[in-house]
């Protein structure tokens, strides 16, 4: 994967924070820290959009006819099948 050089400006406080992360051994340099932040942000946004899509799908499906106990039983059965219960 090719790389692109960027120039980024930080406050002194932000720069000190980045340096502290590097000194703590979490990262070897500024670029590694910033790339990690971007990856985490991408993952967070991906999860958010997946959830948003499911919520929209649920709203668009309309009101269900099942009772709450029926729904809870289905969830319980699904969790048992998946090994989560």
Is there a domain that residue 7 lies in? no
Q: How many domains does the chain have?
A: 1
Q: Element (H or E) spanning 71, and its range?
A: helix 68-81
Is there a domain that residue 49 lies in? yes
Is there a domain that residue 5 lies in? no
pLDDT digits (tens, 9 = 90+) for 34-54: 999 999 999 999 999 999 999
Is there a domain that residue 17 lies in? yes
Q: How many CA atoms lie within 13 A of 53 on its CB side?
A: 6
Is there a domain that residue 34 lies in? yes
At residue 41, the pLDDT reads 97
Is there a domain that residue 38 lies in? yes
* Coil, strand or helix at 27: coil
**Residue whose structure tokens are 């969830």:** 75
Is there a domain that residue 67 lies in? yes
Which two tokens mark 57?
């799908």
Is there a domain that residue 6 lies in? no
Residue 20 has pLDDT above 90, yes or no: yes
User: pLDDT class for 1, splitting at 50, 70, 90?
Assistant: confident
Alpha carbon of residue 30 to chain centroid: 22
Q: Tell me which residue range forms the domain holding 31.
A: 12-81
């Amino acid at each position: 994967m090719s790389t692109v050089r960027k120039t980024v400006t930080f406050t002194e406080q932000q720069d000190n924070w980045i340096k502290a992360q590097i000194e703590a051994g979490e990262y070897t340099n500024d670029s590694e820290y910033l790339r990690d932040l971007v990856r985490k942000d991408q993952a967070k946004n991906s999860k958010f959009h997946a959830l948003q899509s499911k919520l929209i799908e649920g709203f668009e499906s309309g009101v269900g006819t099942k009772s709450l106990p029926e729904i809870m039983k289905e969830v319980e059965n699904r969790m048992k099948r998946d090994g989560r219960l």
